[in-house]
Structure formats: C-alpha cells, structure tokens
Homo-oligomer: A and B are copies of this chain.
Amino acid sequence: MAALSRKERERLRRQELILDVAEETINKHGFDGATMDEVAEKAEVAKGTLYIHFESKAHIYLAISERGSRKLNDQMAKVLTKDLSGLKMVENLGATYLNFIKENPQYYHAFNYYEGVVAETKSDPGGIMMKCKENAKEAMTYIVRALQIGMQDGSIDYSYDPKELGLIIWGASKGIINMVFLKQNSSEFELLNEVEFDLESIMQNFIHLVGTGLIKK
C-alpha cells in the first residue's frame, strides 16, 4: 500500500482527533445530549471544520460505530488463531464480545444506533455505512468459521447449516446481553427482582443450554 502523503496523514489524524473527542462527548451526554458546538470546542476547531471532515452528526456516530466494530473484529480474529476446538472457539468469541462491550459501553450504544438507522438509510456518502456492514459481515464470518471447525472436529452437531446456526448463536447472544444490560443499567428495571443476575453466569447457562439442550434427559 502506497505511503500516504504528509497532508493526507494530517487529514486522517485530524479526523481521528475529532472522533476521539466526539466519542468522549457522546459517551458522557448521550447522542442527543452531545452538541456539535461542544464537540468542536473540545476538539479546538470551528464547528464548520466538523462538516469539512464528516457529512453530519449522524455520520460521526456511524464512524464511531465503525471504529468499534473494527476493534471488536481484531479481537475476534485473534480467537480464530488459537488452538481450540470449534465449540470452545464459539464460546471464546461470545466471551470476547461480552468483554468488549463491558469495557467499551460507548461502542455498545453506537452499535445499537447503527442497527437502528441502517434499514432506513438511502445514501452513503464516504461509504461509512458500507464499512459498518462489512465489519458486521466479518464478525459473522468468524462465528460461522468457528462452527465449521467444530463440525469438522466433532465438537458440534453437523446436521445444522453453519450459516443459519451462526445467525442464531450470534443473534441470541446479542439479545441476551442486551437484556442483561437493560436490567443492570436501569436501577428500577428489575425484570425479575428477587434474583440478581450475573451476565457471565447467564452466558454460561446459555452456552450450556445450546450445548446440551433443554428437553429433559
């Protein structure tokens, strides 16, 4: 890949700076509560400069989602290089996602924002929506590959279609994690108020459930 000119590097550096500041501001105030005036002030640029580098406020948030999904994918890729059974790989990928959003709740929210707007977005200046889609696709590819490895090494039932199973496992994991996040981040939102749930143990039970099944033995 040809080296970028100094000017191009400067431009990208400026964009990363703006994203850093925007990420902090949105993490602190929420997307609606964060203003472009505040982002500009903290980035020490004029507000018009934000629009030189990004199409819109929404575009900035999608760029944040993209960088989060890229970081997540990097961590998921590492799991695939480990010497593990397919089943263990799938478990590890789930744990990787869980740890990632625990450590980076700002990306969790940005992912949700992306999912909320992706269906209704018609145009895609700068291709940021396309990059987000590619990152989502790549994450799914890691899941499917781990399932295929498991089907080959005998740790996973190969009567399932790996792609469909991948969608089920990935979707189910995200749904459960989302539900527990709702519970934890809403002091009054006690779905089942007698028992304190730990997400780790819930995911363990989910893994156990899909591993061995629900029907009584």
A interface vs B, CB < 8 Å? 30, 87, 112, 115-116, 118-120, 130, 133, 136-137, 140, 144, 154-158, 160-161, 163-168, 170-182, 185-186, 188-192, 194-195, 197, 201-202, 205-206, 209-217
Q: Tell me the smallest distance from the CB of A36 to a CB of chain B, in Å.
A: 16
Q: A168 contacts B209, CB within 8 Å?
A: yes
A203 nearest CB neighbor, chain B only: B168
Known contacts: A157-B214, A215-B155, A216-B155. The answer to whether A168 contacts B206 by CB under 8 A is: yes
Q: Tell me the smallest distance from the CB of A199 to a CB of chain B, in Å.
A: 10
Q: A171 contacts B167, CB within 8 Å?
A: no
Q: Which residues does chain B contribute within 8 Å of A136, judged by CB atoms? A: 189, 191
User: Within the oligomer, what is the number of copies of this chain?
Assistant: 2
State A192–B141 Cα separation when bound (angstroms): 8
Q: Which residues does chain B contribute within 8 Å of A137, judged by CB atoms? A: 190-192
Q: Tell me the smallest distance from the CB of A168 to a CB of chain B, in Å.
A: 5
Q: Which residues does chain B contribute within 8 Å of A164, judged by CB atoms? A: 195, 197, 201-202, 205
Q: B192 contacts A163, CB within 8 Å?
A: yes
State A115–B115 Cα separation when bound (angstroms): 13
Q: A192 contacts B156, CB within 8 Å?
A: no
Q: A189 contacts B133, CB within 8 Å?
A: yes
Q: A212 contacts B215, CB within 8 Å?
A: yes
12 contacts between A and B (CB under 8 A): A87-B214, A87-B215, A112-B116, A116-B116, A119-B189, A133-B186, A140-B192, A167-B176, A167-B180, A171-B179, A211-B213, A212-B214
Known contacts: A156-B214, A161-B195, A167-B191. The answer to whether A120 contacts B30 by CB under 8 A is: yes
Of the candidates B119, B168, B206, which one forms a contact with A205 in the assembled complex, judged by CB atoms under 8 Å apart?
B168
Q: B172 contacts A176, CB within 8 Å?
A: yes
Q: Tell me the smallest distance from the CB of A135 to a CB of chain B, in Å.
A: 11
